Amino acid sequence: MAKKLVKYCVVDAFTDTAFKGNPAAVCLLEEEKDDKWLQSVAAEFNLSETCYLIPLNEPTNTNPRFGLRWFTPVDEVDLCGHATLAAAHFLFSYGLVKTDTIEFSTRSGILTAKRVPEPKASNSQDDCPTGYSIELDFPVVQVAEANFNDVLAISKSLNGASVVEINETSKGDHFILLPSGEAVVECQPQIDLIQNCPGRGMIITGPAPQGSGFDFYSRFFCPKFGINEDPVCGSAHCALAPYWRKKLGKCDFVALAASPRGGVVKLHLDDEKQRVFLRGKAVAVMEGSLLV
């Protein structure tokens, strides 16, 4: 029997530079695949996320809608920002949708991605925009004080970093405040110790240095899901936005994901609707077909 081809693209999200930001594999399916196959392909890519798109035929819908699922190398997850950005970039850049808004049906409900034209450079002679960014509409992830009070254990897992606060997200991640953004950058995570900590993963964050152009820095570690460090975790910013809203008294942020690859996330928090709007760029770095 002839093998079918599944088109895929590897996209670096939350960056406009190849080999920076957070890579995700995007696979476009013509039909549903079983979970074992989906997980096996994700393990083969061995990126922090592999996501799967399948078109949904809903003629009453104004915007195109796709089913979207996200897999780490070891498990399926409920929410992923960078792979959703990568999926939207794939659909927009390959001309697979004709609108500026896409809807995704996911385990976290209906999520939207909007193409937002970038203003042209001030010295440009061209009337056309220079490009676009993508804005994602995601649910807020709540942050609350943690029951886990072992500051020493958390500090050891971060190679002795000074811990200011220990909180926990509604997704089960530790949410750790460090004294500064520089401390976030310099942190040397002890992955084995983080893996033995209770909870799912660990977000660390700190205030950005004055004059840096950022509001806060962050990093995310999740070895239990096969991700020692997620280079730019979009969903972590759904918790970071409401937390820094209380700290800084504002709703708009520019955040640096301070992993070695680095990435930039622009955020707007809608307090009333309890939604976070994440904006970033993406660049495709590899494409091909899977034989199935």
Catalytic residues: 49
Structure tokens of 119? 């203003």
Q: For residue 39, which of 21, 27, 23 has the smallest C-alpha distance?
A: 27
Which residue bears the tokens 């239990």? 224
Rounded CA gap, 50 and 255, in Å?
A: 24
Residue 61 one-letter amino acid: N
Element (H, E) at 204: strand 202-207
**How many residues can be counted in the chain?**
292
Q: Beta strand 65-71 with 101-106: parallel, antiparallel or unpaired?
A: parallel
Rounded CA gap, 213 and 96, in Å?
A: 35
With 0-12 / 13-18 / 19 or more C-beta atoms within 10 angstroms meaning exposed / middle / buried, residue 60 is exposed
Residue 252 one-letter amino acid: D
The total of other beta-carbon atoms located within 10 Å of residue 56's CB is 14
SS3 58: coil
> Distance of CA 155 to CAs 66, 149, 161, 187, 236, Å?
42, 11, 5, 10, 20
Paired strand residues for 139: 275
Q: Any alpha helices (H) in 94-189, and if so which ranges?
A: 151-157, 181-186
The total of other beta-carbon atoms located within 10 Å of residue 126's CB is 8
